[in-house]
């Protein structure tokens, strides 16, 4: 192994992404933060991007900004509410005949102060962060299977490794804690990906899960608690990175030939807050097929969605 090869394996940047002309990326939460940065890099390398989000005006503004930065960027928008199974079904129908090469399950909510529910009655954080993306992935799977080598990149978080994320009381009906619900939803992202990798083995669709480290994005808009505000103020100078840097794990998972199905990737820097992406160990028990099957069965029961695997 020469020095150049060794360096490329230990230090990765988005500049190493090759030509993506002809490929289409569907990005939830694509109108801001990490999703927007992901779209910006992918379109710069030739991919077409579908920005999915709840607000058409914000989507249009994001698409306009991408085209301003790169006039030939191929960008479309799709109104999608991950808290509504009806909205997800509508998107699945719209893209039923298309080909999607890269699905980024990127959107998320965090630290909702009081328990609330989606339009389908699910606890909001778990409903959006996991169940919404579970149903969306199932709905877009036919489009993903049309690609010669598709990837599903689900964005989890460091909170998915916390002990508080134990997958019980999924709807937080017995007790609700804002960050506990978030941790639970982000562990579900990891467990779901590991189980999805087992079920899609041999199909040509490769599921990967990432955590972005720490960055100031719209995800922090619900950080109302005194403790959370103090933590952000204290850590921002040394830990909080930019959305551009936080998008690196997602981009690495989408483009690197080194990633493996079911793998968990995040920043290699201090405290995993920033830096070049690397493979990380799964949280204890997250790769257990029994836990994966339990989450899968419950997700199907709650959403009424079945995967065409």
Cα separation, 66 vs 24, whole angstroms: 15
On the question of pLDDT at 33 being above 90, the answer is yes
With a pLDDT cut of 70, the percent of the chain lying above it is 87
The pairing of strands 277-280 and 264-267 is: antiparallel
From the candidates 176, 182, 252, 265, which is the catalytic residue? 182
pLDDT tier at 10 (50, 70, 90 boundaries)?
Answer: low
Residue 24 and residue 43: Cα distance in Å, rounded?
Answer: 9
CB 277 within 8 A of CB 248: yes
Out of 4-18, 88-102, 218-232, the most confident range is 88-102
Is the predicted pLDDT of residue 298 greater than 80, yes or no? yes
Mean pLDDT of 106-127: 97
pLDDT digits (tens, 9 = 90+) for 217-226: 455 444 444 3
Catalogue all structural domains in the chain, each as residue range(s) with its CATH number: 21-302 (3.40.50.720)
The answer to whether 265 is a known catalytic residue is: no
> 113 near 283, Cβ under 8 Å?
no
Residue 53, token pair as written in the block: 């989000």
The angle at the Cα of 93, spanning 52 to 110, to the nearest 5 degrees, equals 35
pLDDT in tens, 212-271: 987 544 554 444 443 333 333 333 333 345 778 899 999 999 999 999 999 999 998 776
DSSP the chain: --HHHHHHHH---GGG----TT-EEEEETTTSHHHHHHHHHHHHTT-EEEEEES-HHHHHHHHHHHHHH-TT-EEEEEE--TT-HHHHHHHHHHTTTS--SEEEE-------SS--B-TTS-BHHHIIIIIIHHHHHHHHHHHHHTSTTEEEEEE--GGGGSGGG-SSSTT--S---HHHHHHHHHHHHHHHHHHHHHHTTTTTEEEEEE----B-SGGGGG--SHHHHHHHHHHTTTT-B-HHHHTHHHHHHHH-TT--TT-EEEE-SGGGSSSSEEEEPPPTTTT-HHHHHHHHHHHHHHH------
pLDDT at 169 over 90: yes
Sign of CA dihedral 173, 178, 183, 186: positive
């Amino acid at each position: 192994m020469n020095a150049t090869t060794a360096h490329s394996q230990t230090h990765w940047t988005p500049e190493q992404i090759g030509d993506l002309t002809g490929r289409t990326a569907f990005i939830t939460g694509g109108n801001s933060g990490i999703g927007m940065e992901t779209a910006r890099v992918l379109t710069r390398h030739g991919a077409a991007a579908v920005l999915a989000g709840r607000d058409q005006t914000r989507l249009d503004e994001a698409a306009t900004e991408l085209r301003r930065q790169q006039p030939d960027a191929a960008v479309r928008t799709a109104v999608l509410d991950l808290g509504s199974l009806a909205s997800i079904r509508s998107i699945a129908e719209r893209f039923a005949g298309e080909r999607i090469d890269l699905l980024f399950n990127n959107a998320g909510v965090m630290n909702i102060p009081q328990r609330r529910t989606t339009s389908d009655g699910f606890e909001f954080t778990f409903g959006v962060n996991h169940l919404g993306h579970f149903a969306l992935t199932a709905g877009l799977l036919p489009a993903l299977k049309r690609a010669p080598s598709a990837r599903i990149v689900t964005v989890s978080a460091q909170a998915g490794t916390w002990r508080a994320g134990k997958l019980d009381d999924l709807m937080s009906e017995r007790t609700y804690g804002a960050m506990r619900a978030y941790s639970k939803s982000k562990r579900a992202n990891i467990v779901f990906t590991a189980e999805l990798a087992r079920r899609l083995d041999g199909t040509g669709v490769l599921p990967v899960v990432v955590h972005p480290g720490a960055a100031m994005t719209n995800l922090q808009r619900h950080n109302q608690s005194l403790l959370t505000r103090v933590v952000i103020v204290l850590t921002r100078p040394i830990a909080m990175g930019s959305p551009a840097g936080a998008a690196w794990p997602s981009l690495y998972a989408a483009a690197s030939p080194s990633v493996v199905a079911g793998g968990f990737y995040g920043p290699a820097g201090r405290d995993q807050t920033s830096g070049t992406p690397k493979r990380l160990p799964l949280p204890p028990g997250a790769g257990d097929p029994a836990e994966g099957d339990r989450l899968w069965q419950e997700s199907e029961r709650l959403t009424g969605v079945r995967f065409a695997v």
